[in-house]
Structure 1
């Protein structure tokens, strides 16, 4: 029976890590550390649950199910079309890829431009033309993903982060500031919600099949072995992510007493200036560029493969080109506009992804009614809350506070649990067995 060598497994771990690790994975933990100050460790714990734990569980759930479509079909055939499309658009050309391209510009080019050009629309346009041309070129051969990420980009990325951390260890640390209001009173749950912004639990539902196909390409065909290697790859990538998040949160907290800043990019700029002076900005720009390229290439490949199967009127290469072109167009709206629309959209989609991942892990014990009721009522809550925050200026919040954990930002949890139980009772009454939906 074919087996993966230790080196092959390590390359797959590196590949999965680099697919997850993009711009958001750099800026959000640094911002968390800067805002949480003395509360950084409890806030980091919440962040790691959603930014590490859920993505890894998502990869494992897809490995068990075989594909996102199979997992989503357990809810309803229409859900298996609508929800994946929403995910691919969110982590693809709608939000994540444009965000990566724009953040790369903000961190690698903008700091070196004259003041009159720094906010120039034309400079962003020129940069994103080059950035997305490189992304598309490297995305046209998805079979080379392991070699490009595992042997080149990921090691460079990790070496850069290690250099920064080692320098930080030998640099006197400033005392941590008091936590800002949200982190002082609600550190764990605020960190939990911050983990949404990495979008990695959504990406896991997409990347899972990429990892499965990579393992199969190595000659591993039986489902038990694939699930085993998926578990190893997920745990390995998760450990790397958790360590890097800990480093970045520590770095953000180390400058919290100097200044509490508006976003993670500004935090890292201050950190790098303090550690390395002007040279640090060059190092930071290189770090962001590599991370943003890695995640953008991964997402273009994933979107191209998905839409070429969903709508085979175009080949993979055409869909990859369409994804890159749309991402380029959205990126030119600017970073602030992209971030402004991402929060409410993620707040609506993320609870559904979390519930689906958890259900997928325990599928053998569940029935169709559990999937359907849990997802439907989680979706109802998420849609109502998104409308409340986005369009009604939180006017419904006082009415919704009777729901447990609502004030902590995770009011969907109890309704989801209740309807999992209700779905189970309904399923028993209908005598629906788990194997009927697998």
Structure 2
């Protein structure tokens, strides 16, 4: 019988938590909170709470859902049917991976860490940097079992140290009164913060990263079953706490820095804060923070995407997928992202409601003692359909017909109109599940 050392397990779980934090904490996560703090001003606390609900709590719940489902996003998505079980995870990995988030990590790193420090801004320089960036990411992903060591033991502690220095110096230096909130954050700062966190896409990333956490803990000797589920859950919670602390510190800097709204974005604000608190070395230190944040996210996305497709198409090995996605990300990072963003944004808008629905239904299912067959299918079908219509309406395609069909739903103007119809479909599906003989057997495969 397999036994494991509890102290060694705790150390392994903590390192996995640092790895998970580093994969969540990309450049976007670094620059959103200070911008929120600057705009919310005196209302930054309720705005921050809303941001933490969707920017931290929901991704952590996504990791818990992966732990409960047993393996990866494919197992979880299968609850919505065979077609949904394939298309949803494929689109998730492609949307936040090689066709969007991966090339963005290199572009942001170059523009923030190379251009300001070295004054070099040309296509050949960007291409050379991207080649080095994805070369390092590829090397770190060659062996899945070493990802937890590379991120958890080396890169993440350095990233956290630099962030701690920036936050502590920033809070102690910028102690003036917060300005009045902007009009957007004046009346409903909690809901606006909630929507801002929703747009971080970390809930989709949580579903993608879950496979890396599970495989890393298994590689370190934690057996499958309750021990593995508990380990993944604890790692997710620790990562969430670290994210919340960092977000709060960055938001405080944004709320109290002089003329915080004069900066174009959160990156410029933090770069100025670093220069003011750490002198001439500040820009270099901030550039290193951004580079580490982008690199750790790139490693997580590249490894998770390649491992998923290697399982989906076993004829092509993990290493071949690594090469394929590294080359795609490199090409897009040098060609520009404007066209990619135009395609990715509406796709992500359709995927996100389905992801939220999957997460909550997966967490609820073990408490029902039943296999929620119709609940999953009904709720997911409505979530995807409503979100698809909403995306088409936003793009202006058939708005004259679509808008009257969906504008009745609460939250429609805030891109949350899918929530109430999805809830209604889930309730109807649950009633059918209670009355259906096929769902009387407990879904033990999803409640390990």
Please give the TM-score of this superposition, normalised by the length of structure 2: 0.91
Q: Does 1:383 align with 2:388?
A: yes
- Select which of 27, 45, 48 maps to 2:49: 45
Cα 1:425/1:307, change in 2 over 3 Å? same
SS in 2 for 1:93: coil
Q: Does 1:184 align with 2:189?
A: no
Cα offset, 1:341, TM superposition: 4.9
Q: How does 1:37-436 map to 2 (within 5 A)?
A: 37-66=41-70, 67-114=72-119, 117-118=120-121, 120-255=122-257, 257-334=259-336, 341-364=343-366, 365=368, 367-392=372-397, 400-433=406-439, 435=441
Residue 35 of structure 1 contacts residue 256 of structure 1 at CA under 8 Å; is this kept in 2? Answer: no
Cα offset, 1:258, TM superposition: 4.2
**Structure 2 gap ranges (5+):** none
Please give the TM-score of this superposition, normalised by the length of structure 1: 0.93
- CA deviations on 1:279-307 (whole Å, 9 max, x unpaired) are 21111100011111111011111111111
Aligned length: 435
Whole-Å Cα distance in 2 between the matches of residues 35 and 166 of structure 1? 21
Residue 144 of structure 2 contacts residue 216 of structure 2 at CA under 8 Å; is this kept in 1? Answer: no
Whole-Å Cα distance in 2 between the matches of residues 49 and 76 of structure 1? 29
Cα 1:41/1:398, change in 2 over 3 Å? farther
Residue 38 of structure 2 contacts residue 256 of structure 2 at CA under 8 Å; is this kept in 1? Answer: yes
Whole-Å Cα distance in 2 between the matches of residues 393 and 126 of structure 1? 44
Whole-Å Cα distance in 1 between the matches of residues 311 and 377 of structure 2? 25
Residue 254 of structure 2 contacts residue 260 of structure 2 at CA under 8 Å; is this kept in 1? Answer: no
- CA deviations on 1:381-409 (whole Å, 9 max, x unpaired) are 11111111123497665764421122333
Residue 175 of structure 1 contacts residue 257 of structure 1 at CA under 8 Å; is this kept in 2? Answer: no
- CA deviations on 1:306-336 (whole Å, 9 max, x unpaired) are 1112122321111001111111112224466
Cα offset, 1:206, TM superposition: 1.6
SS in 1 for 2:413: coil
Cα 1:26/1:338, change in 2 over 3 Å? farther
SS in 2 for 1:402: coil
Residue 55 of structure 1 contacts residue 201 of structure 1 at CA under 8 Å; is this kept in 2? Answer: yes
Whole-Å Cα distance in 1 between the matches of residues 258 and 412 of structure 2? 29
SS in 1 for 2:412: coil
Cα 1:242/1:150, change in 2 over 3 Å? same
Cα offset, 1:149, TM superposition: 1.3
Whole-Å Cα distance in 2 between the matches of residues 217 and 122 of structure 1? 40
Report the counterpart of residue 17 of structure 2 in structure 1. 13
Give the stretch that moved more between structures: 42-51 or 373-382: 42-51
Cα 1:401/1:275, change in 2 over 3 Å? farther
Report the counterpart of residue 28 of structure 1 in structure 2. 32
Give the stretch that moved more between structures: 74-83 or 40-49: 40-49
Cα offset, 1:13, TM superposition: 1.4
Cα 1:434/1:62, change in 2 over 3 Å? farther
SS in 2 for 1:362: helix
Residue 105 of structure 1 contacts residue 124 of structure 1 at CA under 8 Å; is this kept in 2? Answer: yes
Cα offset, 1:276, TM superposition: 2.6
Cα offset, 1:436, TM superposition: 6.5
SS in 1 for 2:263: coil
Cα offset, 1:434, TM superposition: 5.9
SS in 1 for 2:158: helix
SS in 2 for 1:80: helix
Whole-Å Cα distance in 1 between the matches of residues 282 and 127 of structure 2? 25
SS in 1 for 2:187: helix
